[in-house]
């Protein structure tokens, strides 16, 4: 993957052009060649979509239990609705990560998709330190996942 970086000369001329990532996911879900139930989709994202209504896509992803893991490079190169990606991941039990361009590397992505931390069965305390210097409201989610299955499906975040 590291040897196939995009050619900057082929980039969009306007930052108003949105990503077609939602169409790509939809095309994958609607394919008839391979089974998709329980699929995990890994996406490197630089441009947000312009679409806001993803109700049907979320319904399809939930129906087939398709997860999406998105690593987003910041600042974005375009698109007008970053909240669409957050809704897509939170409402389908997926994950989204954000990296500054300077730290957006293949090793960060590999770490995101392969890093596992094991906890023993006991109580844990967690502390989140943050610093925000503007008046923008930020959503923060902390999730715990388990490997394997005991037949319990995590409720969707509506």
Supply the CATH number for residue 39's domain: 3.40.50.410
- Upstream peptide bond of 75 is cis (omega within 30 degrees of 0): yes
Please report the pLDDT score of residue 64 as a whole number.
92
Alpha helices in 9-149, H assignment, sequence order: 21-29, 55-64, 82-90, 106-114
Range of the domain at 54: 18-114
Is residue 38's pLDDT more than 90? Answer: no
59 domain-assigned:
yes
* Per-residue pLDDT tens over the stretch 70-80: 888 888 888 99
132 domain-assigned:
no
If one counts the domains in the chain, the total is 1
Q: Are 94 and 25 in contact (CB under 8 A)?
A: no
> How far is Cα 72 from Cα 69, in angstroms, rounded to an integer?
10
Is residue 114's pLDDT more than 60? Answer: no
28 domain-assigned:
yes
* Per-residue pLDDT tens over the stretch 4-34: 666 778 777 888 888 899 999 999 999 989 8
pTM tops 0.85, yes or no: no
137 domain-assigned:
no
């Amino acid at each position: 993957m590291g040897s196939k970086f995009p050619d900057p000369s082929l980039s969009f001329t306007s930052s108003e052009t949105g990503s077609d990532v939602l169409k790509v996911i939809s095309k994958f879900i609607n394919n008839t060649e391979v089974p998709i139930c329980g699929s995990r989709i890994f996406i490197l994202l630089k441009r947000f979509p312009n679409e806001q209504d993803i109700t049907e896509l979320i319904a399809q992803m939930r129906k087939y239990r398709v997860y999406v893991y998105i690593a987003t490079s910041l600042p974005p190169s375009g698109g007008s609705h970053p909240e669409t990606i957050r809704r897509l991941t939170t409402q389908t039990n997926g994950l989204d990560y954000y990296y500054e361009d300077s730290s957006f590397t293949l090793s960060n992505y590999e770490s995101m998709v392969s890093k596992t931390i094991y906890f023993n069965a006991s109580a844990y305390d967690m502390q989140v330190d943050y610093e925000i210097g503007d008046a923008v409201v930020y959503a923060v989610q902390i999730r715990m996942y388990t490997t394997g299955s005991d037949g319990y499906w995590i409720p969707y975040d509506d």
